[in-house]
Amino acid sequence: MPLMNWDQTLDIGVASMNKEHREILDAMNRIFDADAAGQSGPAVDQLVAKLGEVTTRHFADEEAYMAKVGYPGLGSHKLIHVKLLQDFGTHAAAIKAAGGKANPEFFNFLKRWLIAHIKGIDSKYAAHAKAAA
Ligand SMILES: [Fe+2]
Ligand SMILES: [Fe+2]
């Protein structure tokens, strides 16, 4: 069972960003499944690092998209991305320090990210883009 399945509620209505959000969700689910299967060690650290890469790329793409559509909330959204990456880095370091063993706090963090950030915060620039189109 994955951390979360892709569903309509994660669809923000921007195809390119939906695609990247799916990649993020897939990367999260790979970590969740590995942990559920009892895995730990460098393989898990690598999956966590992969999520970090996909996310860093996505945030850059998303910020470029928000700039393109003239989204007025770009500045504060960027700051939220910075904080999210900082928190992610803290979790990644804790997992590494635990020998590549993930923990429930990390998965709660990922769930909040999907629900509060993608559904809550990302959907706002999408609504702006739709209204401006
Ligand atoms: Fe996003
Ligand atoms: Fe975002």
Checking if the pLDDT of 72 tops 90, the result is: yes
- pLDDT the model gives residue 106: 98
Spacing, Cα 42 to ligand 1 middle (Å): 27
Q: Over the range 65-97, which residues count as b (16 or more CB within 10 Å of their CB) and which as e?
A: bbeebebeebeebeeebeebeeebeebbeebee
Measure the CA–CA gap between 109 and 82, rounded to whole angstroms: 15
Checking if the pLDDT of 133 tops 90, the result is: no
Q: Which residues surround ligand 1, an ion (CB under 5 A)?
A: 62, 122
Measure the CA–CA gap between 91 and 1, rounded to whole angstroms: 22
Measured from the alpha carbon of residue 17, the closest ligand is 1
Confidence of residue 85 (pLDDT cuts 50, 70, 90): very high
pTM: 0.95
With respect to residue 8, please indicate whether it lies within any of the assigned structural domains.
no
Confidence of residue 86 (pLDDT cuts 50, 70, 90): very high
With respect to residue 5, please indicate whether it lies within any of the assigned structural domains.
no
Spacing, Cα 19 to ligand 1 middle (Å): 10
How many domains are contained in the chain? 1
Are the C-beta atoms of 45 and 100 separated by less than 8 Å? yes
With respect to residue 9, please indicate whether it lies within any of the assigned structural domains.
no
With respect to residue 4, please indicate whether it lies within any of the assigned structural domains.
no
Confidence of residue 132 (pLDDT cuts 50, 70, 90): confident
Measured from the alpha carbon of residue 79, the closest ligand is 2
Measured from the alpha carbon of residue 124, the closest ligand is 2
DSSP string, 34-60: HHHTT--SHHHHHHHHHHHHHHHHHHH
- pLDDT the model gives residue 42: 98
Range of the domain at 109: 15-132
Q: Which residues surround ligand 2, an ion (CB under 5 A)?
A: 122
Checking if the pLDDT of 1 tops 90, the result is: no
pLDDT digits 0-9 by tens, 24-48 = 999 999 999 999 999 999 999 999 9
With respect to residue 101, please indicate whether it lies within any of the assigned structural domains.
yes
Spacing, Cα 56 to ligand 1 middle (Å): 10
CATH number where 70 lies: 1.20.120.50
Amino acid in position 26: D
With respect to residue 3, please indicate whether it lies within any of the assigned structural domains.
no
